[in-house]
Chains A and B, each alone.
Chain A
Amino acid sequence: MILILAWRNIWRNKKRSLIIIAAIAVGLCCGLFASATMFGMWDSLINTTIDRDLGHFQIHSKSFEDEKLLTDTIPNFQNILTQLHSTNNVIGVSSRVLVEGMISSATSFGGVRIVGINPQDEKNVTTVYKQIIQGSYFGENWRNQIVIGQKLAENLGIKERSKIVLSFQGVDGSIIYGAFRVAGIFKTESSVFDKSNVFVQESDLLRLINSDPISNEIVVRLSSVQQVDSVYIPIKKQYANLSVKNWEELAPELKLFNDMLMTQMNIFVGIILFALLFGITNTMLMSVMERVREFGVLMAVGMKRSRVFIMIILETISLSFLGGIIGISMGLILIEYFKHVGINLSAFTEGLSQWSMGSRLYTSLPLNFYPSLVLMILITAILGAIYPAFKAIRLKPATAIRTY
């Protein structure tokens, strides 16, 4: 009956209740949407980074960590590849030969990371082949094909079928020169990546350095990011002499970015809750002040203070709960909508490509975010109600009844 009383009490001043409900709903909806935008940003950042280059985890020799030399190879890599191919949840494994070198065109030159790959394997792991804007991904019929980024092509003043020369230090320390012809030009979300990576076929590279098959890097792609720990931890244990790292360890700047987003989001949600706290306190205080006489009568006829207190808390919780439900529903609808449609960010794409992001942002919010938000709203509601409720129970019935 006290719940009924509380419920009816909040509808006594419909306008005021609706305003505070709307405020809670809008605040919550904005908070959710902003959070979802940030999570979406984060998701797309991770996904593009994983898809473009990182894969879910990578294996290197321990010495590769420091120098990144061609000679820092993974021993017995063929066995590891075989094992990985037959591991559950592994959908792609690519072995890479890596060397830092120079690329020169007729007019210009620059430093690049030369990535020797087997295109068929690499396609199972990364998506650069989908981002070819000119030519093909090693689809030509000549030797020494090279696939380079658009930014680099621009800088070097070259296009499809142009000839370029790669130079780098070979296994024995001598400088090796190789002539390549551009088979394809790619453009990913990251201009930095496009500028600094070139792809050649592993076989061409091995022939140039006159070497048996070697591997500097093994990149593994799994069926989903959730599988990372279950696959990579056993491998890491098994190959203690190698360096086995997942995408988080490989790209610490992502982690940093994530922390930054989280902090921003917490501050944002904090501000919204703080504003709600004041809104709720103010509303309930007005509502209590209008009912001084009524509380006087209730306490005079024998309603315990604790019950009056509970009643006011219940009123506040009901209000917040309504606002919460509405706000979360609106937020969910918005988030679901933009999860599929995406937010067009093309106006900012130039700047964002530095951050490796696409021009469409898809909102996403982990489900476990909602209950914690509901909980925070409820706590805010209770905190907001405490002062007005105390005001009410501190009333003396005899004086309160004199108030008209």
Chain B
Amino acid sequence: MKTRFERRFAELKAAGRTGLIPFVTAGDPLPEAVVPMLHALVAGGADVIELGVPFSDPMADGPVIQHASERAIARGVGLKTVLGWVAEFRQTDADTPIVLMGYLNPLEMYGYERFATDAVAAGVDGVLLVDCPIEEAHVLEPLRAAGLDQILLASPTTAPARMERLCKASSGFLYYVSFAGITGSAQLSTDDIAARVAAIRTASSAPVAVGFGVRNAGSAVAIAAFADAVVIGSALVERLAEATSVDDAATRAHDFLAPIRAALDARKG
């Protein structure tokens, strides 16, 4: 049976479209807005959703996502709540792949076996664990056994031999981090990225998503020239932060994404 990732990336390829992957922190700005927001993102053109699991010590994140995490934690959001939201989302959306993005300690405390069972039951498709490189990925064996994909990151500092190992070990898609830094920084040099993504393509047939530093339609279109999908996080989280109601959050999510979707689709013609 094909996974949701496989189906989604095959559809994109057949249609000649670039995938759009928004990131939101689960529980921010309002816990009750999460599920309506996820649906609004899909309506606005999301192909895959990265749902951030809040963590108290997000070492690889800049201030925008740090603060979103802090707000969510202050409202008591944890892994269990997040899985509940995914299950609720799945009641009316069977197709959009969902990646849980975050750090290892929440899974450690939840228990890997228990997490694998509960995540699959909720309808999660994969995990992207920032502080779990391939060297430590043995702890995720129960997740793989349950059918969850492990999305791996590759970065500008990844040496060629290591890149090959990453390509082999990654499942779902490979996430290329466009620069050495934390989320939310605005520096983007598309020339370097294009060359690196080309190198990945020689080692792997997996879809390549590019993120970090994509903030708007312009930067998304620039990345689309060589990536299968673009990831947008901090700029969206920033836009959502000031939402005052569930409807406001959903509208903001939709209205942020729709023009980017339109620009990506206009590009292919």
Q: Is B a genuine binding partner of A?
A: no
